[in-house]
Amino acid sequence: MAWRWQLVTILLWLPSFWTDWSKSSRGHVLNLDSEVPLSIASKEYRAAFHFQPPQNWINDPNGPMLYNGIYHLFYQYNPYSAQWGNITWGHSKSIDLINWTPLDIALRPSDPFDRQGCWSGSVTILPGDKPVILYTGINESGHNVQNIALPKNISDPFLVEWVKPSYNPIMVAEGVDPTQFRDPSTCWLGKDGLWRTTIGAEDFERRAKALLYQSKDFVQWRSAERPLFSTNSSSMIECIDFFPVSAKWKRGLDGSSMGSKEVKHVLKMGVFDNSHDYYLIGRYSEELDVFTPENVGEDDHRMWLRYDYGSFYASKTFFDSDKRRRVLWAWSNESDTISDDIVKGWAGVLTVPRAIWLHKNGKQLMQWPVRELESLRREKIELKDVEVSKGGLIEIKGVKTSQADIEVEFELPELEKAELVHHEWKLDDAQMACNEMDASVPGSIGPFGLLILASHDLEEHTAVFFRVFKTRTDYAVLMCSDQRKSSLWPELYKPVFGGFVGMDVKEGKISLRTLIDHSVIESFGDGGRTCITARVYPKLLLSGDTHMYVFNNGSETVKIRELKAWEMGNAQIN
């Protein structure tokens, strides 16, 4: 469809408008005539299609699975408060990964082996379609131990009740700090008939290890002679996920797939030091029970890739056998204060479920929201072949900009005009670069992208954008999500996130998809090669006067090759 002028307002402002973002009158943000006082505890900040319980605290997703045609999601949950603590396993079910029905809490602290909490873990489906939970408990001595839980009634399609056998715990710490030993992964079955799981740990010299445990019967477990993987670059690693990926197809693989040259493995680790999820791609040797990363030089976790460069942690995947895909979830925490959370009565959301696969280059993973999310798309607008010159703003109208799905493809100018970078950036330099070169700092090719949840004078906005640089030998694309002006609430954490997009920019185009859900912004650069999740709380959301713009603050004109934006409906969640 040709783009329609009545759907957009094009404002070619002078470049000086970029320096005026912080100036302002606040009348449009504050509804002074309203009888309801403005509060960050407003229900307007609750998500409409991201998973969260009706109230209280949520963190790590645990044990997602497909069982007898029904998706199950467990999660770390405090049933009594919006603060972290009193940790149980919440439980919900779905037939489409988007709409969820709550079930009874699956696991509560009740026994000596989990008296101080039922912490993160996984679900493995054993032969005969028998699901089993492995989870970390903290015992009465304060030590981490690994426990098992079984369905009370295997014929119950919803698996509401779970029992903990008296022979728990089934794994205890050996040669590592017993207070730093947690989060068993989904298990896989070797050709030798042994089940295996990996558990995050820290030894007494503060070195991180992905320990390996083996079992014939899923009851008696023994520690392997060597860890699956270890690193000296961090202390504790947690919430480990270990799974195979196809080097040939986008479809997912069962956790026990191995042995072929076309199968690689992904080891994902949550680094406790900075609460980021990192991953490595490599080869797993079943004979040696060792994972060997590919294309990794120095032992430095900061040089590893990340699923997401924003508010994203404790991720977990599962294999969806019906649709032959691997699906990823993660926890996105709040950016307000604990006292704010207590007043509003809830804290934490999960990212939208994402399909995940290995890029054809074999060097990184790709992510994309599951197709079922598109069922929530409502009103749609389109633009095509619109040039955005220096200082240009194009307002996107016709959809509710606080609850939307936007896909845009940009056509780039001649790359020779890109700014020259006189040093080689490392992977962990991206956030620093975004912090120094924000959307208001003019460049050559960029910054260009979206201004989201914005006021009409841009006093409040979140900028998601790209910049293209020329290096000594190639080009580098920087993707940023800048929340520093996202809200007028003073107490918020408003960071800048950034990642490099490892793409071949010589093709002359780059794409961006962004999901906006009140206080959640998830962005996917270049088809899901680089992802950034942000949590924002603009005051203007309380008045409903939100705007969205495409902008360009580079000296070179970029073109909107195509833009599609949908207003999103509400999912039925819990």
Catalytic residues: 60
Residue 327 backbone phi and psi in degrees, to 5: -115, 135
CA distance readout (Å), 235 to 176, 300, 544: 12, 12, 45
SS3 state of residue 343: helix
Q: Tell me, rounded to whole angstroms, the distance of Cα 269 from its chain centroid.
A: 13
Q: Is the peptide bond before 127 cis (omega within 30 degrees of 0)?
A: no
For 179-207, give the DSSP string: TSEE-PPPPEE-TTS-EEEEEEEE-TTS-
> From start to end of 431-546, where are the E strands?
445-454, 462-470, 475-482, 496-501, 509-517, 520-525, 530-535
Sign of dihedral through CA atoms 477, 481, 484, 485?
positive
Q: Which long-range contacts (CB under 8 A, 24 or more apart) does 290-297 make?
A: 290/226, 290/228, 290/229, 291/210, 291/228, 291/229, 291/242, 291/265, 291/267, 293/229, 293/267, 294/264, 294/362, 294/363, 295/363
Q: How far apart are CA 220 and CA 508, in angstroms?
A: 57
Find all residues with CB under 8 Å of 95, minimum gap 6, and list them. Answer: 69, 70, 71
> How is 266-318 classified by DSSP, letter by letter?
EEEEEETTTTEEEEEEEEEETTTTEEEESS--SS-GGGSEES-SSS-EEEEEE
End-to-end CA distance of the chain: 38
3-state class percentages of the chain: helix first, strand second, coil last, to nearest 5: 10, 45, 45
CB of 266 within 8 A of CB of 365? yes
Q: Cα–Cα distance between 257 and 253 in angstroms, integer?
A: 6
At position 533, the amino acid (one-letter code) is T
The residue type of 561 is R
Tell me how long the chain is: 574
Identify the sign of the CA torsion 50, 53, 58, 63: negative
Q: What are phi and psi of 371, to 5 degrees?
A: -60, -30
